[in-house]
Every structure is written in C-alpha cells, then in structure tokens.
Amino acid sequence: MRMLLLKTWRDIKARKGQFSALIILVALGITSFVAFVSGYYNLTASADQANSELKLADFTVHVVDAPRSAVDGLKNIPGVAAVQGRLVIDTGVDLDENTQLTGRVISVPAGTHPPVDDILIESGSYPAEDSPGIFVNKKFASDNGIGPGDRLGVWAGGVKYDIEISGTVTSPEYIYPIRAKGELPSPKEFAVIFMTEDAAGQMFGLPSSYNDFAVSVAPGADREAVIGEVESVLEPYRVEETVRQEDQPSNFALHEEIRQNQSFAYFMPLVILIISALSLFIALSRLVQSQRGEIGLAKALGYANWQILLHYLFFSLIIAAAGAIVGFALGQIFAIFITNLYTDLLGIPFLESQIHIEVILWSVLMSTVSCVAAGLLPAYASARLLPVKAMHADPTLVVSGGKIPLVEKLLRPILPKAFTFRIPLRNVFRAKRRSLYTIIGIAFALVLTISTWAMFDTFNELIDVHFVQTENWDVTAAFEVPFTAGMIEDVRGIEGVNNVQTALQLPARLEAGGRTHESNITAMEPDQSFHYLNISEGASTNEALAGAGLIMTPAIAKKLGAKVGDEITVSSPYVKEEKLTLMSLSDEAWGAPVYVSAAEGRKLSGSPGGIYNTLYLDVDPDQAQAIKKQLYSLPGAATIMIKTTLIDSIRSMFDLLYTFGAILLLFGFTMAFVVIYNTFTANILERSREIATMRTIGEDRLHLAAMVTLENMFLAIVGIPVGIVMGLWVANALYKSLSTEAYSLKVVIYGSSYAMIILSILVVLLISEIPPIWRIFKLDLAEATKVIE
Amino acid sequence: MMNDTSYIATLEKVRKVYHMGEIVISALHELDLSIKRGEFLAVVGPSGSGKTTLLNLLGGIDTPSSGRITIDGEDISGFSQKELTYFRREKIGFIFQFFNLIPTLTARENVDFAIELASRDKVPPSRSAIELLGVVGLEQRLNHFPAQLSGGEQQRVAVARALAMDPALILGDEPTGNLDFSTGKLVLKAMKDLNVAEGKTCIIVTHNTPLAQVADRILHLHDGRIAEEEIVERPIPPEEITW
C-alpha cells in the first residue's frame, strides 16, 4: 500500500500542472458555493436583525385622518403588542433651488423611540421635544452628498419650509428606498424625512391627527384576526390600505433580493460543480488510460483490484481535499466582499459576516462526493483491467484501420492541401472519445460564460423594453390629492410640455378563489398612449377597458390562480367588493400593474366625476428639470419623476448584480482556461510520440503549434454551438428562478455579446494552448520517439 | 580530416553528459569517429553503451556536451534548435524502431508529408511519393493507412519517408527491433539496396550482432567508448543473414 501511495504522490508531482488545474476546478465550484451561500446567509441574517432590532411592524394601516387618541383603542385589542400612530405624507422636497425631489415625511414621537417601526440614528441624536430639525434616510443623504447641517426645502400645503438636517437615520421600512411594492428604486430621488409628530402636524395642518398606524402583533396571536379588529376600530377614519409585513414594499423587495441571491447561491455553484465533476471525470479517465501499462504491471506484480481502485481514488480524494480547502478560503473572502457590497448598497445597518459550519460541511461533502463520483468510474475501470490487456495500448486511442473523414472527402476541392491543415482535421476524427471530451470541455467553458453574460443583456433589455417600448412618457407626476381639469390645462401651458395624459392610481385588494393580491390599480382611458400594453392573451386593450374589465400581468394572474374570463373581486379604500372580469393579460417586463378603465377607476374611487391623480407628460428633454420644478409647485404634488433620471438610478441599483456577473464571468473564464488546458494537455500527452516524430523529421515548431491550434479550432467549431445551446438552457433556468412578481426575465443575449463571448473563449482557448504547446517545444525527441503507444 | 569531402560525418572529442538530479552520467567519452560517404555502419553494444546517444547526436536530436560534430561539411555542434530542425529536415532520414508513421495519413501521404517539409525550403523533391514507395516495393499499398499495413510494410514506408528529402545520412535505431525475422530482413534489404544502388550512407544501431554483418564496418561501443572497430571485408547480403 505504501508503494501505491508513493506512486500516487509521484504521479501528482509528474503532472503538477494538470493536478493544479483540477484542484482549481473543484476550488472554483466550492468558492462559488461558499461565497454565494455564505453571502446569502449573511444577508438574510443582516436583514432579519435589522427587522428585529428596529421592530418592523407586522402590519400598517393607512387611514385618511384619525385622532391621535385612536391609538388607545388599538392598544386594547387582544393580540396587539404595540402600536405607533404617525403621520405619513408624501410631498415635494427641494434639495436646492434647481433640484426637486419626491419626499415622504414620517412623524416620530419626540424624545422616545417608537415601539414599532423604529429608526436607527446613524448621525446626530434622537429628536427631542423641541427639536426643530429633520432626519433623513442615510442612503438618500449619502447619495446626494448631504448631511447634518445642510438644509432641505419641504413643501406642505403649497408652502416651502426650509429646514436643517439634524441627522441621518436608517428605517426598516426604507432599507430598499421605495414607496410602493413593485416600484422602481430611486434612492437619490426619494427623501424619507423623519420629524417630531408635533412639527409634522403643524406643518401639514394636522396637529392632532395620525393617518398611519404601525402595529406589532403579540407572539402567538392570529395576525389576520388582529388586522380585522384594527381595521374595524379604524373604520370611521376610512381605511385606505393595510400592508402586511411581507408586502411592506422595502421588506418585500429585500426578500425578493434575498430570494434571488438564494437562487444564485444554489444554482450557479451547482452548475460549476457539475462541470467540475464532469471535467474531473474526463481528466481521471484519461489519466487511467495513460497509465494502462503501469496498471498492468502492478496487477502482474500481485496488487489486488481494491488496491488499484484505492490508488486512483486517492487522486480524487486529494483533489477534493485541496479543492475544498482552497475553495472555502477563497469563498469566505468573496462572501465577506459580497455581504459588504450588499449591506452597503442596501444600507442594512447590521452586518453579519460569519463562518457557517454547515457551509464548511457542505463544501467538504460536495467536493468529496463530486470528486469521488468523478473518479470512481475510471478507478473501477482501471481495477477491472486484466494485466495482459492493460499492458497493451488503449484500443480507444489507437487508430485502427483507416478512413478519410467524410467532411474531407466532400470538401476536398476547397480545403487546403497542406498537411498543416489536413493532419489536424483528421486528428479530430481519429479518436472520437478524445475529440468528444475536448468538445465537452469547450462547451462547459461556454455554459458558465453564456449564462453569466446573459445577465448583462437580459437586464439591459429589461430596462430597454420597459422604458423605451412600454413607458412612453418623459415625466410623470403623482399627486396626493385629485387634481382638477383646470390644473391639467395649466400643466399643458408649461413651456416645454408637448402632451399631457391622465390616469388615476389607487390602492386596491384583488381576490379570486380565496387568493389575494395587494396592488395599485391604474385607471386610464382606452386610447391612452403613455403605456404600451403588450396583450398576450384575451381581449384587445380597447375591448378590455371598455367595460367592467381588468388587465393584469400573467404573474399576478398566476398568483391569484385566475384565467382570462374569471371574475375578480376588487376592493378599494372607497368601494368594497366591486366585481370585475379579467379580460386580458399583458406581458409587462417590469412592475406588477393592474389596469381598469377610467370609468371603472372613478367607481373604485367612489367619485362619479372626472378624477385623476397621475399625469404622464411628453416634454422637451432640455426643459425636463424646469418642468419638474413647476410641477412640484402644484398643490398636492407628491412624486415627480424624469424617466432618464430614473433609468440612471436603476442602472446604479444593478451595479450589484453586475458585480456578481463580473465575479461569475471571472469564474467562467478561469474555468474555461482550466478545462481547455487540461483536455489539450492530455491530447498532447497522448500523442507525444507522433508529435516528436514530426519534429524529428523536420517539422518546425511554428507549424506544429499551428496544427495544434487548428485542431482545437475545429473542435471549437463544434464545441461553441453546443456550449451556447447548453448555456442558454442554463440561463433560461436561472433567470426563470430570478423572475419576481415585479419583473419577469426573458433571457436575451445580443449579437454583439455572442461575438464577444466567442472571441473571448477563443482567446482563452489560445492562452490555454500555450502550456501544452510549450510542452511540445520541450519534448525530449530521443525519448518521445521511442514511447510505446 | 574536417575538409575531407569523402567523409559525410566526423566526430571530434565528443562528450555527452546527462544530469539525473545529482547523478552525472557520461554517455559518451571524448569520442572520435569518421564516417565515409556511402558507408554502411552498424553500431553495436550492450545497453547503456552509448549507441543510441551517438545516433541522436548524429541526427541532431541531441546536442553534445563538448566536442565537435560535422555532418556533410556543416558543424552542427553549436546549432540552435531552429537550425537543427532545418538540418534534420534536409540532411537526415530517420528510421525508428516503432516505425513512427503518422497514423492518420496513408502510406503515400506519410511520404508526401516529408516531401512537403522539404519543399518548404524550396528543395525540389528528387522523387515523388509513388516513386519512393516503389523503391521499397509498396507501389500497391499507396492508399493504405499504417494500421492496414504489416509491421514490415510500415517500416518500408518509413524507409521511403526517410528518402523523401534525399538525405545525406539515413539513421536507423533498431530498425528491425520490432519486426519478425523475415520482415526484418526485408527492411534491412531495402536499406542495403539504397546504400549499394544509390550510395546512401546508412548508420544502424542494433543490439543484434549477427544483423550487423550486413554493414561495411561495425563499431563496438562499451561504456561510452569505442571498444572495437571491425571492418567487414565481405558484408553478408541481408537475405542470407540469420539470427
């Protein structure tokens, strides 16, 4: 046994390059697993801790206007652990004279932290009774380069209040800075402002009111029952919306992000590990092939089958152990990097970077299982070999008989005659298994590259489809209160405004077959052109919006278990249980919109006359900022967004995803190098006598390198399309798992990307050829020409 | 002696030392040797005597540690790898123990491959592949692949390939070592015919002493030195040889 161990060690030393490559291959799989899974665990722990420390509400109820004393009634409801009443008001905010933004003012009790939906003071100190200043969310402050001592203009009732920033905070409700579920994040454009409830009440003319109640439910209590009780207590104050914790916009988005991270965490490492295991299998099979003579000798000398089996399994175990150690170390570094990136980007105040024992155990298990599984078959094959057979050349590698490949026969007139071309072409067909291994190697290399690269194009396409093809407006304006026909005319009269269209947005609850969905409904005229409806099923837009019809995305229909033609019960803060028919499904790249006709919208708003609260404007791009400023000066203006600014903001939100993509791409190219290097090196080793003979009789190095390159290029011609098809399949599976209620991802890879990927793979292929070609140059001709093959 | 054109190859005080880790192995000790044009030389000796090393040095697939080797008027001792490649391509015909044909090329293509190498240097081929295969009696097996040929036929293709560049020297390292008795004699005859009819200088290395009797001269190597030089007054025709 000692001798076999010694042989194992010497074999490894003799193939340092190939063994290192295999260790790297396994390490890549483990690194990606540890990095993404630990990153996922850390992120989940960080988010959970933020929610728990800052007491994220189990649900919130938004009303029109309730007396502060309503809180006392709520506290007495069984199952209510704590309640915080507050004012939550959307308004315009002036960053400076020329920069108008959307703001949300939230009141907090003076001098004492709220028992629900608390805030973490990042700078400054908690607002006292007579505190005149405001606190803004940290992300907004850092993105705009402002902080304590700076001033913001907060609009209230058409008056701008110039107020000093006293500090920055993090709120569990705005870790992901959005106002509504499915909304596009725009942290730089959305100011969440906290001020004492007296200051907020005075500013907005609601000195003794609350319009929002954050409730925490006692452990063991039935949340839904508590919600029912709370809603009935608040009924007199007109309940507009009840938002459960899982639907709270930031919490929902954060958990979607975590869910996507989970998909990445489990899917990509799995792909990498499968590729690693298959590559390992190929490499070990070829190792066994190359050692047939030694196996025969060992068996002739009396070594038992199990000893031979064990010897070759040692290779696998050594690779597994080294791969797990290197992979875990690198993975942990990447995990900390990913967690930091996430918590920084999302502004999660609690960073939880830990070493997870279960991840270590999984790493060891996965590397061992994949390596042993990969090595078992070749090891078993080696153990089964009869000594007499083992001492002969591997029949699969010997060119038996002779045949000119069909492709050469067919294309003879147009193919180059030079042997520098013909020999590589024939080599492709001489040992089909060897060629197949190389093709698989090249294809594997492409799988990861394609599926990763698809991320960039898919998200770019998502933005492009949504903002260029679907959303046909330049500026949108949402108002807290419905505006009048006269105001629309005023907006039309603003210089630079080319067209104005109207819509009504209102919160609603949809129900079908016992399933519910909380969403904003957009009511619009059938002939509107600000939003393109891509009807995939059901009636046309005009028909669908002609009567009591609804249009929604397939994702929401699926959530509700509804089909076209089904009846949907819609409740709004003003109307209970309006029955509408699901008329059509609209494929929307982004968002989870639900559409009804303007007439139906009026019904749901409880107002029979013309009523709108949202404008969509076509404007002269140069005047967009000036128009935005003027819109904010209109009464009730809450959110004004310029499309181009929004796109920039979204792109910056994707930076994290792109960082992941870049890391995976690095993995992909490294894997491509390792896989191709290994197969090419084995190709060269298996033909060293032949290559040495060519060199001996006078073939120069340049031509030999050209022959190796050509052979690999021929194999790449087959491997690349196979890899692209496999890569697209993997990408489709991955991005399907990443699709959310808010956006559905369809894999897109641009033509230019295909060109880049293929070019990059060819460059990697050429680089990975260098070591085996160098081996050819360094061949000991005297020795190699005598090798028995 | 250096300028004597009657000698195709001369070795002057040629040493070859191999380093195997900390062990230094002297394969050849200051060897002096001259080989005449048109000579058939056989090198014999026990394993480790240095015969293959001598052949490798003559063929330019190895370089001497010291000393000087002149082949066809050119001192190859200081040649770079690139120069050695061109030297081998133009001056040397190799015949290997295991034939070493390219398995994916037919008999004719194997010879054509060598011709293509020669033509890269603008050396017009002296004979076509068909003619060369005719010389070794394989005109009927032109389009057969090595795996479709017997060992003897493969080795004769190798002989034809060795002739493709009209080399100054034909070197055979155990050319019959992997062949049976009668096939081996056929290959030996093909080489001897070339030597006699075309005046080609042939050098073969063999551990098979009776086989060396076809040569004009037999060089006995021992421990990296020439132990004995034997001039064969009446070389035995290959077809009469027995071993």
Nearest to A641 by CA among A434, A476, A522: A476
Q: Report yes or no: A112 at the B interface, CB cutoff 8 Å.
A: no
Q: How does residue A401 score in pLDDT terms, banded at 50, 70 and 90? A: low
C-alpha A402: how far from its chain's center? 52
Q: How many CB pairs under 8 A join A and B?
A: 94
Rounded-to-integer distance, Cα A19 and Cα A25, Å: 10
User: Does residue A704 carry a pLDDT above 90?
Assistant: yes
Query: Distance of CA B207 to CAs A331, A580, B214, Å?
Result: 60, 100, 14
The answer to whether B131 and B104 have CB atoms below 8 angstroms apart is no
Rounded-to-integer distance, Cα A454 and Cα A660, Å: 12
Mean pLDDT value of segment A684-692:
86
Sign of dihedral through CA atoms A61, A66, A72, A78? negative
H or E element at residue A129: none
Q: How does residue A736 score in pLDDT terms, banded at 50, 70 and 90? A: confident
- A452 or A268: which leads in pLDDT: A452
CA dihedral B218, B219, B221, B226 (to 10 degrees): 150
When scoring A403, A694, A697 by the number of chain B Cβ atoms within 10 A, the one with the most, hence best to mutate, is A697
The answer to whether A289 and A396 have CB atoms below 8 angstroms apart is yes
pLDDT tens digits, one per residue of A19-77 = 888 888 889 888 888 888 888 888 888 888 889 999 999 999 999 999 999 999 999 99
Rounded to the nearest 5°, which phi and psi values hold at A178? -135, 160
- The whole-angstrom distance between A419's CA and the closest CA on chain B is 6
Q: What is the mean pLDDT of chain A?
A: 86
Rounded-to-integer distance, Cα A773 and Cα A680, Å: 9
pLDDT reported for residue B44: 94
Alpha helices in A686-750 (DSSP H): 688-696, 701-738
The answer to whether A221 and A77 have CB atoms below 8 angstroms apart is no
Who contacts A419 (Cβ-Cβ below 8 Å, separation ≥6)? B105, B109, B112, B113, B116
Tokens of A416: 């180059």
For residue A584, the SS3 value is: strand
Tokens of A280: 């390992």
CA dihedral A217, A218, A221, A222 (to 10 degrees): 0
User: Does residue A185 carry a pLDDT above 90?
Assistant: no
Q: Report yes or no: A418 at the B interface, CB cutoff 8 Å.
A: yes
Can you list the positions of beta strands (E) in A177-267? Answer: 190-196, 209-217, 239-244
**Chain B hits for A693, Cβ within 8 Å:** 94, 96, 100, 102
Rounded-to-integer distance, Cα A692 and Cα A446, Å: 32
The neighbour count for residue A318, using CB atoms within 10 Å, is 17
Rounded-to-integer distance, Cα B133 and Cα A535, Å: 75
Mean pLDDT value of segment A121-136:
85
Question: Do the Cβ atoms of A782 and B147 come within 8 Å?
Answer: no
**Chain A hits for B103, Cβ within 8 Å:** 398-399, 402, 430, 690
* Chain B residues bordering chain A (beta-carbon distance below 8 Å): 52, 56, 59, 61-62, 81-82, 85-86, 88-90, 94, 96-98, 100, 102-106, 109, 112-114, 116-118, 144-148, 161, 165, 173
- A416 or A653: which leads in pLDDT: A416
Who contacts B123 (Cβ-Cβ below 8 Å, separation ≥6)? B90, B165
User: Does residue A443 carry a pLDDT above 70?
Assistant: yes
Q: Which domains does chain B have, with CATH numbers?
A: 7-240 (3.40.50.300)
- Percent over 70 (pLDDT), chain A: 96
Roughly what angle, to the nearest 10 degrees, separates helices B81-91 and B107-120?
A: 120
**Chain B hits for A419, Cβ within 8 Å:** 105, 109, 112-113, 116
For residue B233, the SS3 value is: coil
Query: Distance of CA A497 to CAs A429, A489, A515, A525, A616, Å?
Result: 68, 11, 43, 20, 10
Cross-strand pairs, A619: A497
Rounded-to-integer distance, Cα A581 and Cα A564, Å: 8
The answer to whether A202 and A161 have CB atoms below 8 angstroms apart is no
Cross-strand pairs, B150: none
For residue B41, the SS3 value is: strand
User: Does residue A455 carry a pLDDT above 60?
Assistant: yes
Rounded to the nearest 5°, which phi and psi values hold at A782? -60, -45
| Helices and strands (DSSP H and E) totals, chain A | 25, 21
The answer to whether A59 and A173 have CB atoms below 8 angstroms apart is no
Q: How does residue B76 score in pLDDT terms, banded at 50, 70 and 90? A: very high
pLDDT tens digits, one per residue of B126-181 = 789 999 999 888 989 999 999 899 888 999 999 999 988 888 899 999 888 888 88
pLDDT tens digits, one per residue of A207-241 = 999 999 999 999 999 999 999 999 999 999 988 88
Q: In terms of CA atoms, which chain A residue is nearest residue B87?
A: A698
B60 Rama class: left (phi>0) / alpha (psi -120 to 50) / beta: left
pLDDT reported for residue A16: 84
Judging by DSSP bridges, how do beta strands B66-71 and B7-20 pair with one another? antiparallel
Roughly what angle, to the nearest 10 degrees, separates helices A655-685 and A432-464?
A: 170
User: Does residue B234 carry a pLDDT above 60?
Assistant: yes
The answer to whether A768 and A672 have CB atoms below 8 angstroms apart is yes
pLDDT reported for residue A225: 95
Rounded-to-integer distance, Cα A262 and Cα A660, Å: 13
Tokens of A149: 């001592």
- Please provide the DSSP assignment of A601-661 as one string: HHHHHT--S--EEEEEEEE-GGGHHHHHHHHHTSTTEEEEEEHHHHHHHHHHHTHHHHHHH
pLDDT tens digits, one per residue of A514-568 = 898 887 889 988 888 888 888 999 998 888 888 888 999 888 898 899 999 999 9
Q: Which of A403, A418, A689 sits opposite B100 (nearest CB)?
A: A689
Question: Do the Cβ atoms of B85 and A401 come within 8 Å?
Answer: no
Tokens of A546: 């002609």
Q: In terms of CA atoms, which chain A residue is nearest residue B145?
A: A402
Query: Distance of CA A502 to CAs A387, A482, A484, A522, Å?
Result: 86, 11, 11, 10
Tokens of A404: 């000119």
pLDDT tens digits, one per residue of B142-154 = 999 998 998 889 9
Rounded-to-integer distance, Cα A263 and Cα B122, Å: 63
Who contacts A478 (Cβ-Cβ below 8 Å, separation ≥6)? A90, A505, A613, A614, A638, A639, A640
pLDDT reported for residue B1: 44
**Chain B hits for A698, Cβ within 8 Å:** 85-86, 88-90, 114, 117-118, 165
Q: Which of A423, A427, A693 sits opposite B100 (nearest CB)?
A: A693
Roughly what angle, to the nearest 10 degrees, separates helices A701-738 and A655-685?
A: 140
For residue A355, the SS3 value is: coil
Mean pLDDT value of segment A750-777:
92
Tokens of A569: 């019960």
Q: Report yes or no: A697 at the B interface, CB cutoff 8 Å.
A: yes
The neighbour count for residue A132, using CB atoms within 10 Å, is 12
Cross-strand pairs, B172: B95, B204
- The whole-angstrom distance between B233's CA and the closest CA on chain A is 32
Who contacts A348 (Cβ-Cβ below 8 Å, separation ≥6)? A43, A46, A47, A50, A170, A175, A342
pLDDT tens digits, one per residue of B215-227 = 999 999 999 999 9
pLDDT reported for residue A789: 62
